[in-house]
Amino acid sequence: MTDLRAANPPYAAPVGPSRSRDRGSIRRTNLGVILRILRDSGPRSRAQIATDTGLPKPTVTTLVSELVAHGLISEGSAQREGAVGRPGTLVRIDGHGLCGIGVEISTSYVHVLALTLGGDTAYEHRVAVAVAEAGAKEVLDLTAQAIRACFTALGRDGVRPVGLTLAVPGVVDTAAGTVEYASSIGWRGVAVAEGLRQRLEQPLPRLAVDNDAKLGALAEHFQAEGADVQDMVCITGERGIGAGIISDGRLLRGSTGFAGEVGHMPLDPERRPCVCGRRGCWETMVGLDAILRLAAPDDDWIHDPSVELESRLAELGRRAVEGDARTREALARVAEDLALGLALLTDVLNPRVVVLGGYFTHIGHLMLDRVREVVRERVMAPDAGGCEVRLSELGFAAAARGGAHLALDAVYQDPVRFEEA
C-alpha cells in the first residue's frame, strides 16, 4: 500500500543513540517528518512540532532552520483568535520553487497539472483528444508536446519539477511504466514511460506511470484533510469505471497492484457487450457511454467527442431540469445501477466515504438522493455501515492532481535531495 500522508499525529521520529554513519539518514527522516506534519496539519509552532514528533526542542529548531534556509518552509507571525500579547511564530510549508507534475491520459483528453510543494497550481492545461481513435503513437506525441510546454512555462517562472506521474486508465505495470491493458482506450502493452523519454529527449525528473483511479483516490484523500477520513472508495466516472481504495489511510493496491478494477464486475442482467470483450460489466450500466446512450439517440450532438465533455454534460443537466422524459429516465436508471455496485463495495470494504468523480461531479446531483437511498436499503450493516456517498469536488482533475501529489512525495521521503536549487 502507498502511504502519502504517513501516520496520524503524533508523528514518530527516530529516537535513541545512533552511530555516526546513521546520522545523515536520521536527519533526512526527521526533516521529512516535519514537512509531513506541516502538510497534513497546517502551520505549527516549533514547540508544537516538538510535541508532535517527540524530538527535543533544540533539534526541532535546527531542523526547521535548515528547511527554512533551503526554501522548503517559511516562518511568520500569526495572532490566534482571542489571544492577547505578541503574536506567535508559526512554521508553514513553502517550497514555491519546487513542483510535482501530474499528467492524465483519459478517454477524451490529456490533462497536465503542476502543483507546488505548498499545494498551489503552478501550471495547468488540458487538450481534448479522442484517445482510442487517435492511437497510442499520436497520443504519446501529443502528451510529450503538452509536457514540454509545461516544462517551458515552469522554467520561465523559476519553478523546478521534482517528479512527473502519468495517470492512465486500465491495468498498469508500475515497475515497467507500461500500460498492460486499457480497454477503454484500446491500449495493450504500451511502453508509456519509455515512449515519453524518447520523445522528450531531455533530462527528466523521476517519471512514474500509475492507474488513474488510484491516483484520483490519493487526490481525494488529500482533499478530505481534517475530516478524519481514513477509509474511502473513489469511483472514476469516465467511459470506464474504476475504483481507488483508501484503507486505514493508505492506498490499497492488492498483491500485484491491480486492485480496483470494479468496472468489470458482472452486474448487468441484460449482458451488454463491454469494450473489454466480456458481457455484463458494471461500466456498461453506469459508465459515460451508458448515460449518453440512454439519454439521447446516436445522432444527438451530445455524442460528439469534438465538443467539450463538460458542455455535453451541462446540456444533459439542462434537459433533465427542464423535464425531458428520456434524460430523466436515463438518470433514474443509472442511479439504480450505480447504487447496486456501490452497495456491494460498501458491504465488502465498509468505507467511511464513497466519492463519485468524473462525469458524476457534473450531473450526479440529479441522482445523488436516489443513490444514497438505495445504498442504505441494500447495505447489510445498519445505516449503510456509516458510509456517506458524496460527489467529488475535483472532478476530471483528480487523477492529474493525485499524480502531482505522488511526484511531490519524493521531497517528503528525502528533503536533502531537493534542498539545493
3-state SS assignment for residue 173: strand
pLDDT above 90: residue 11: no
Where is pLDDT greater, at 240 or 82? Answer: 240
Where is pLDDT greater, at 82 or 327? Answer: 327
> What pLDDT shows up at residue 96?
83
> What pLDDT shows up at residue 16?
41
Mean pLDDT of 307-320: 94
* Average pLDDT of the chain to the nearest whole number: 89
* pLDDT tens by residue, 319-372: 999 999 999 999 999 999 999 999 999 999 999 999 999 999 999 999 999 999
With CA atoms as reference, report the closest residue to 241 among 291, 169, 136, 329. Answer: 169
| Three cell numbers, residue 27 | 536527519
Burial zone of 269 (CB within 10 Å; 0-12 exposed, 13-18 middle, 19+ buried)? exposed
With CA atoms as reference, report the closest residue to 355 among 203, 195, 235, 252. Answer: 235
* pLDDT tens by residue, 29-49: 889 899 988 888 889 899 999
* pLDDT tens by residue, 406-417: 999 989 888 877
Q: For the chain, list the domains and their CATH numbers.
A: 20-93 (1.10.10.10), 98-215+399-418 (3.30.420.40), 227-395 (3.30.420.40)
CA 149 to CA 136: how far, in whole Å? 20
Name which of 64-73, 119-128, 142-151 the model is least confident about.
64-73
Burial zone of 74 (CB within 10 Å; 0-12 exposed, 13-18 middle, 19+ buried)? middle
| Banded pLDDT at 80 (limits 50, 70, 90) | low
pLDDT above 70: residue 20: no
* pLDDT tens by residue, 101-131: 999 999 989 999 999 998 899 999 999 898 9
> What pLDDT shows up at residue 9?
36
